[in-house]
Amino acid sequence: MDSFQNEIKDTEIPLDAPARRRLPILLRHAWYGLNQAFRRRIARMKLTPDQFTVIRTLLESEPEGLTQKGLADAISSDPNTIASLLERMESNGLIKRRPHEKDRRANRVELLPSAKNKYEAIRQEAIELQGQVLDKLPESDREKFLSNLEIIADACRNISNDER
């Protein structure tokens, strides 16, 4: 059966039917597999995928750094997880937290040179892994896939925010 016939068949099956592809399971399998592969590739640098994501996000943010809440929002994490992650990163000499200049309740997160060095050392690993995964799709479909995944991610985030 070709993929077009699968698509027709899938649309005729109720969303909760055992034979139907399930979005949560597929997203979890994709995330878990990617995370584990990346974890193995960067283990020698004593950095986790979450720490890499924090470093990359801070490098791509405003020069004054993000607040912990801004960081949690940017990487779709909860404040307790971010606080714990940043505590470990601070202990490892990767980041420094300093009081926000206008909001006494908030901390700004600043990268230290060691974090930037580790990021540069393993950035290529991240790029190569992403390339290996996306190579499974025809080149003409890759950008559309990422665009659709972004739509799904935004929808999930919006639904989550609406339920608060």
What residues make up the domain containing 81?
23-162
Structural domain contains residue 5: no
Contact 138, 128 (CB under 8 A): no
Task: Kindly report the number of other CB atoms within 10 A of residue 100's CB atom.
Answer: 16
Q: Phi first, then psi: give them for residue 67, nearest 5 degrees.
A: -75, 165
Please check the confidence at residue 130 and state whether its pLDDT lies above 70.
yes
Average pLDDT in the 5-27 region?
75
Give the separation between CA 18 and CA 155, rounded to whole angstroms: 24
Structural domain contains residue 37: yes
Structural domain contains residue 1: no
Using pLDDT thresholds of 50, 70 and 90, give the confidence band for residue 33. very high
Please check the confidence at residue 57 and state whether its pLDDT lies above 90.
yes
pLDDT at 94: 95
Give the separation between CA 122 and CA 41, rounded to whole angstroms: 9
Question: Which CATH number fits the domain that encloses residue 109?
Answer: 1.10.10.10
Structural domain contains residue 17: no
pLDDT at 7: 55
Structural domain contains residue 145: yes
Structural domain contains residue 157: yes
Structural domain contains residue 15: no
DSSP run (H or E) holding 60: none
DSSP run (H or E) holding 66: strand 66-67
Structural domain contains residue 48: yes
Please check the confidence at residue 39 and state whether its pLDDT lies above 60.
yes
**Number of folded domains in the chain?**
1
Using pLDDT thresholds of 50, 70 and 90, give the confidence band for residue 22. confident
Average pLDDT in the 12-27 region?
83
Both tokens assigned to 35: 């995370």
Alpha carbon distances (Å) from 59 to 43, 95, 161: 21, 12, 26
